[in-house]
Amino acid sequence: MSQTVSQSNRYKFLVVDDQELVLFATINTLKQEYPEAEILRAKTAQDALAIASKQNLDLAVVDLSMPENSGESAKTDAGIELLKKLMDKYRTLNIVVQSAYSRSLIRLKPTINIHEGGFTVADKSLPMQDMLTKVDWALKGLNYTPKEMRFGLELKPEWLQMLQLAFKEGLTDKAIAEKMVIAERTVRHYWTKIQDALSVYPEPNKNLRIQTENRAREEGLID
């Protein structure tokens, strides 16, 4: 199953939340921003997995606390397990986690680090515009994780090598891929992980790559 973005903005989204009011508000907000999108819904982890197995999803918006099955109580463990299964099975699926308490995502840090799709966290206590921003970032393949998951720089050797090739040798992503003998898509994936680790995110009228270089120099990752 390919999780590539649909043409002409005809996205296919899945929204997972057991709270009817939140589910309605999220879907309604997404419909206004993406009127051409097909938006599916699920209230339990098992329903979400069943839908994902049958649909070519571009994005999943997932609450962190939900029931495993219909009739059961909502719990964070069910949401954590759902996210893990989605990332394990659909490596390029773009994901937005909607939660006011995202600290437990630290348990998924190794899985999130290798996930190839966009992965962002929207604070459920903030206005819906925050969710739309995180949806936009996720669809662009960007990463945004809670601060506690970014505490202390833990950059992989291959990420540091890429920084050196990009900012000391001035190589393009294509040239970096050839030099490191990896796919160009993997290079783009490394960029999203580095930018999240450095807390570099899109800002109006600012160049994301230049911001990344500046932060990397501030942290002493490159001379």
The number of helices, as runs of H, and strands, as runs of E, in the chain is 9, 6
For residue 61, the cross-strand partners are 15, 96
Pairwise CA distance, residues 143 & 169, whole Å? 26
117-126 tens-digit pLDDT: 999 999 988 8
- Give the Cα separation of 166 and 143 in Å (integer): 20
For the chain, which domains are there?
Answer: 7-149 (3.40.50.2300), 157-218 (1.10.10)
With a cut of 50, list the residues of the chain below it in pLDDT. 1-8
pLDDT, residue 3, reads 45
Rg of the chain over Cα atoms, rounded to whole angstroms, equals 18
Q: What's the pLDDT tens digit per position in 67-92?
A: 999 999 999 989 999 999 999 999 99
- pTM (2 d.p.): 0.79
- Quote the pLDDT of residue 8: 43
The number of C-alpha atoms within 13 Å of 76 and in the hemisphere containing its C-beta is 11
Quickly count: other Cβ atoms within 10 Å of residue 191's Cβ: 23
